[in-house]
Amino acid sequence: MAVLLIRKKISLTAARSRRGSFRETLRDSLRYRRSLVLVAQIGLFVLAYYAAFLLRFDFSPDQTARRFFWQTVAVVIAVKLPFFYSFGLLRGWWRYVGISDLLDLSKAAVAGSMVLLGIIQIGARPAGFPRSVLLLDLALTILATGGARCAVRIYREGFHSVSAQKNTLVIGAGEAGSAIVRELQRNPRLDYKPVGFLDDNASKKGIKIHGVKVLGSIDILGRSIERHSVSCVLIAIPSATGTQIQRIIGKCRECRVDFKILPPVSARINRPLLVNQLRSVRVEDLLGREPVLLDVEVIQDRFQGNSVLITGAAGSIGSELVRQVARFGPREIILLDRSENDLFKLGMELSAQMPELNYIAVVGDILDVGLLRDVFASHRPNAVFHAAAYKHVPMMERNCFQAVTNNIFGTYNVALVARQYGAKQFVLISSDKAVNPTNMMGATKRVAELILLGLQKSATRFCAVRFGNVLGSNGSVVPIFAEQIARGGPVTVTHPDAERYFMTIPEAAQLVLQASAMGQGGEIFVLDMGAPVKITELATNLIRLSCLEPNPGIPIIFTGLRPGEKLFEELSFEQEGVKSTAHRKIRVFEGSKVQFEQVQAWLDALSAALEAKNVHQLVQTLLTMVPEYTPSEEIRSLCAIDRHDVSLSYRQQRVDLSVAAYEEAAQT
């Protein structure tokens, strides 16, 4: 036994020694790679030049032809090498050769041949030298040098790689599908082996893309999976509709194969490798939202080199606004949020993914006017995106004083300080719940819009952007449903007929930037939310995406509408004039004419109701400001019993920024 162990140890030592010597040899070869490339290039020049003589003299060159070759070969090498060096062809890795390298190679060969032809024309050549040799040499040089590089790449990718095991079908033979197949072929260690494309474009049937055949339309998905023993389906149609995605997923489930999807363009910004972005299908993929086309030049002109302040920067919308604004080269981004932990997480993400971004994280509250003034005085932001707000409808029904304090007076504070310090633009992130509001959250958002309309007579351009629910945001139904499914159910839905407008977080943030670039002051922009989605269907799709079935697998139960909720949401008032804009996904409404003095009077009345903690007085003031507001039963009951919320000291929280105080501050 001891002898066997000793022999095994000796064999392992020898194997390690061989591996070590191989690595050393590889390192040595890499160390002298440029020299090897130079020698190989010169050898190819000589080979191509000699082959040109062979072709010119029918493979039987006489003594004179051989003499011409030896007299001129050094000149040919001396002329060609500088051109190949200037095009970087003596430094690259042949295993990564591409079309651009072959184009550079052709340019270098043509330039070298033209110089050689010029030398011949001025007479610096042996008498009787055949000029046709140079034309043959040009073609052979391109073939030899290009062929050698392609041969190295073919060897590396075809014979010197690990064989992938999972037979994979790619849905979509467009640019995205083609790029994914190319990446899979370059890196077979990902273990996906493309065996075919499926595409509804009949003209593509039968063609090969990177050696992979287009088998037919998506209708033959089931047969193709069985015929080619497919174990994974990759959906590479970024512009696919939700109906198309559901049809593909249904057939994949029937055939019991794994499936992944390439997210839409809006979710793939600054992420170049497509294969690394393939993921499981999510519920937002079933919405079939089209990619957002931005007027990049106009947006960049607004933000490049400027300072931008984002309140609520650590929230779902605020943080995505930060990521989107960062694309346009701002001088700095000020991140204002009162959540220390969320702000820390966002800062860590930005430092890792956007190390060049100059951002300033400020932990603070929009009710702290002193802090706001310090921030504006220090950084003088050109643009302000106000995303900080309380958004949970049922919770705000039970905490109406906090909703008014934060959403109304917080907005008022930020807007007034922005005007005082000369910000060029102020954008309020509003909500579809501001239209004919039936809850405190919607009413406060509508008042915030009215405040901006009353502040128009200034150098600052005030506007609001109104949109509906955002999938995946804090408080969205999707995370709640996902958690309920993970627990085994039940999934709770308020009403079988309840429906909402939905869009993705990146889409919402991009359209907010586009709307801000259009704003001239006084507008209320509304984003195209598409068709409303039934919450019951959303829950059903999410259950099925978890490879489960609703009722009886994961039960769906209906709990009734919560305080302040509607069956459906609206995006505009009937009296608002709807206008189209240059962007097909953005419309604009003519804002109501509101005087600042009227706004100030309303806010003074609201402040008095807060000071007295009088729900009835608070609701009556809101009804005066927003006649369309319909208080919920929850609020009506609070008014009836005059219930007081004593959880906050509003005398300390409320900051009075009257017109006189504003003018006094502006003078100082």
User: Which tokens sit at 221?
Assistant: 């998905």
pLDDT at 364: 94
What pLDDT is attached to residue 3? Answer: 42
DSSP character for 279? B
What type of residue is 15? A
Q: Tokens in use for 659?
A: 């017109």
SS (H, E, C) 157-205: HHHCCCCCCEEEEEECCCHHHHHHHHHHHHCHHHCEEEEEEECCCHHHC
Q: Please check whether residues 211 and 231 belong to one and the same domain.
A: yes
149 and 213 together in one domain: no
Domain tally for the chain?
A: 3
Q: Is the same domain home to 152 and 170? A: no
Instruction: Dig out the tokens for 303 from the structure.
Output: 């933000």
The Cα 443–Cα 437 span in angstroms is: 6
Residue 326 lies in a domain: yes
**451's tokens:** 């405040």
79 plus 186 within the same structural domain: no
Q: What is the pLDDT of residue 5?
A: 44
On whether residue 664 sits in a domain, the answer given is: no
For 426, the 3-state DSSP assignment is strand
Domain with residue 262: its CATH number is 3.40.50.720
Given a contact cutoff of 8 angstroms between Cβ atoms, the answer to whether 56 and 130 are in contact is yes
Q: Following DSSP, what letter does each residue of 400-440 receive, concatenated?
A: HHHHHIIIIIHHHHHHHHHHHTT-SEEEEE--GGGSS--SH
- Candidates 296, 225, 215; CA nearest to 255 is 225
| pLDDT given for residue 402 in this prediction | 93
Residue 661 is predicted with a pLDDT of: 44
Task: Tell me, yes or no, whether 119 and 81 share the same domain.
Answer: yes
Sign of the Cα torsion 269, 270, 274, 279 reads: negative
Same structural domain for residues 147 and 180?
A: no
Residue 482 is assigned to a structural domain of this protein? no
Q: What are 332's two structure tokens? A: 């700095």
pTM: 0.62
pLDDT at 217: 87
- Classify residue 378: in a domain, yes or no: yes
The beta-strand segments (E) located in 345-398 are 359-363, 383-386
Whether 419 and 391 map to the same domain: the answer is yes
122 lies in some domain: yes
Q: What is the pLDDT of residue 426?
A: 95
**Whether residue 120 is found in the same domain as residue 196:** no
List, run by run, the mean pLDDT of 10-residue segments along the chain (668 residues): 44 48 50 74 88 87 85 87 84 67 85 85 70 88 86 65 73 85 76 87 86 87 88 82 79 82 55 54 60 72 91 92 91 95 94 92 94 95 94 89 94 94 93 88 92 86 85 72 81 84 80 85 80 80 74 83 74 61 76 79 91 88 90 78 42 40 45
Q: Are 101 and 41 within one domain?
A: yes
| Tokens of residue 243, six digits | 């109906």
Range of the domain at 587: 296-469+503-528+570-641
